[in-house]
Amino acid sequence: MYLRISDYYQNWYLLSRSNLYIVRALSKYGLKNFSLVILEYFDSESLIYGEQKWIDLLKPEYNLSPTAGNTKGYKHTIESIERIREASLGRKHTEQVRQAMSDSRKGENNPFLVKNMMINH
């Protein structure tokens, strides 16, 4: 959850994911106009159930998927793969974006730093 949410606070993420609905809204309205509220805690076995419960209750505007879960294990059709491939041909991050991505993940912002500290203590 930390990594997923922290991306929204990184300029490189906002620049590189401008096709996402939530990222476009964050860029348009600014982070100060959004808030993060943890509605309920669930153990990992109940997480999908809990996510679906809150999607059904709140019908959040920026959650475009009406079904909880993720796309892990989803198999794209050959046609979808070809469309994705064609859309990404020639796409390259600018040096500025690459540097911002690198800088945002150094030192305390390194996503593995917290994990390593937890393991070592």
In whole angstroms, how far apart are CA 112 and each of 52, 88, 102, 109, 115? 29, 28, 14, 9, 5
Please check whether residue 55 is in contact with residue 62, taking contact to mean a CB–CB distance below 8 angstroms: no
Q: pLDDT tens for residues 8-25?
A: 788 888 888 887 888 888
Q: pLDDT tens for residues 42-92?
A: 888 898 899 899 989 998 888 767 788 766 556 778 888 888 888 888 778
Q: Supply angle C-alpha 15, 37, 109, rounded to 5.
A: 45
- Say if pTM beats, i.e. exceeds, 0.75: no
- pLDDT of the residue at 74: 61
Alpha helices, DSSP H only, in the chain?
2-7, 11-16, 21-29, 47-58, 78-88, 95-104, 111-120
Q: Is the pLDDT of residue 113 over 70?
A: no
Q: Which of 14-18, 37-41, 62-66, 104-108 has the highest mean pLDDT?
A: 37-41
